[in-house]
């Protein structure tokens, strides 16, 4: 093993990087808010659109990170992570927008294909991940499962009692993805991954 | 669990990316190990010991927790 360049970045570069990411987040959030407000969308569609934008943004930022600092992800995992994020974002957009161009049957068939590809990518990602990334994935699943099953039980009980309105499956899926994303951020932050 | 990974790596003039490549993990994993945010599995601990050519107990120490 040979000596290489010092890998730590100067503080000013870190600050500028953080500011750039904050600017991207602010612009994306503002554009999303305008899009949702202007179209008077149902809350389930608004949430799904927000999740799609978040997933695609994470995928694009992951691609930029991988290009600039390839050692931050286990070898072979970077592209798979990006594929998983982008496909998840596409699958949230398709039910809302693709039916304007093709039939609902075709859209659903496309979603099934995308889901199959994403499942394979997820399995490959798990197999190629190093042990800490696997632990982060496992902890994310555990946190999300605990939060979602608790919330689902409380909601189901309240719905049975007639205290709350019924939420569509589409709305529940948006909530599930939001909880999963927050869980993944919490699990990653515990290991110092930002 | 405490460890002396950062010191051992610095003594050899290796970057985190160098050590990550030697161990077959990501740089983030090396950073998490050095900052005590992640305790390695036994196989990874043995691999670290081999890379630094030291016994495991010279690299890792129990905090008693």
- Write out pLDDT tens, residues B31-50: 999 999 999 999 999 999 99
| Average pLDDT value for residue range A14-25 | 79
Q: What is the mean pLDDT of residues A122-141?
A: 94
For chain B, the straight-line distance linking the first and the last C-alpha, in angstroms and rounded, comes to 8
**Across residues A158-168, what is the average pLDDT?**
96
For residue range A30-87, list pLDDT tens digits in order: 887 877 777 778 999 999 999 999 999 989 988 888 887 766 666 668 889 999 999 9
Report the pLDDT value the prediction gives residue A163, as an integer from 0 to 100.
98
- The whole-number average pLDDT for the span B17-37 is 92
Q: How many other β-carbons are positioned within 10 Å of the β-carbon of residue A136? A: 23
User: Does position A5 have pLDDT exceeding 50, yes or no?
Assistant: no
Classify domain B2-53 at the CATH class level: mainly alpha
pLDDT of residue A184: 94
The tens digit of pLDDT for each residue in A80-122 reads 999 999 999 999 999 999 988 999 999 999 999 999 999 999 9
Q: Looking at residues A137-156, what average pLDDT do you find? A: 96
What residues in B contact A75, CB-CB < 8 Å?
A: 24
pLDDT in tens, A34-50: 777 777 789 999 999 99
The pLDDT of residue A28 is above 90: no
Pick the residue from chain B with its C-alpha nearest to A128.
Answer: B25
Nearest to A1 among B22, B28, B37 (CB): B22
Nearest CB among A75, A77, A131 relative to B41 is that of A131
CA angle B8, B11, B12 (to 5 degrees): 95
Question: Per-domain residue ranges for chain B?
Answer: 2-53
Determine, for residues B18 and A2 on separate chains, whether the beta-carbon distance falls below 8 Å: yes
* Per-residue CA distances from A4 to A1, A172, B48, B60 (Å): 9, 49, 19, 25
Interface test with A, best of B14, B28, B38 (most A CBs within 10 A): B28
Mean per-residue pLDDT over chain B, rounded: 92
Token couple for B53: 């050519």
**CA pair distance B63, A176, nearest whole angstrom:** 38
Give whichever of A39-48, A149-158, A181-190 has the largest mean pLDDT: A149-158
The residues facing B60 across adjacent strands are B3
Instruction: State the complex-level ipTM.
Output: 0.89
């Amino acid at each position: 093993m040979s000596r290489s360049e010092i890998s730590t970045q100067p503080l000013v570069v870190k600050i500028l990087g953080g500011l750039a990411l904050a600017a991207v987040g602010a612009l994306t959030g503002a554009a999303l808010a305008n899009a949702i407000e202007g179209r008077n969308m149902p809350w389930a569609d608004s949430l799904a659109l927000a999740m799609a934008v978040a997933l695609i943004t994470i995928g694009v930022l992951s691609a930029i990170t991988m290009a600039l600092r390839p050692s931050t992800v286990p070898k072979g995992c970077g592209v798979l992570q990006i594929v998983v994020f982008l496909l998840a974002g596409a699958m949230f957009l398709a039910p809302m927008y693709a039916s304007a161009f093709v039939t609902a049957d075709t859209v659903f068939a496309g979603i099934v294909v995308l889901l199959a590809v994403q499942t394979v990518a997820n399995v490959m990602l798990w197999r190629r991940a190093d042990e800490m990334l696997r632990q982060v994935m496992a902890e994310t699943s555990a946190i999300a499962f605990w939060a979602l099953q608790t919330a689902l039980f409380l909601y189901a009980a309240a719905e049975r009692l007639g205290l709350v309105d019924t939420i569509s499956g589409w709305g529940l899926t948006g909530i599930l993805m939001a909880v999963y994303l927050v869980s993944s951020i919490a699990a990653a932050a515990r290991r110092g991954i930002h | 669990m405490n460890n002396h990974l950062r010191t051992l790596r610095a003594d050899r003039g290796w970057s985190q990316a160098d050590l990550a490549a030697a161990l077959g993990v990501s740089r983030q994993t090396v950073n998490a190990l050095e900052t005590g945010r992640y305790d390695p599995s036994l196989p990874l601990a043995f691999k670290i010991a081999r890379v630094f050519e030291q016994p495991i107990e010279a690299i890792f120490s129990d905090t008693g927790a």
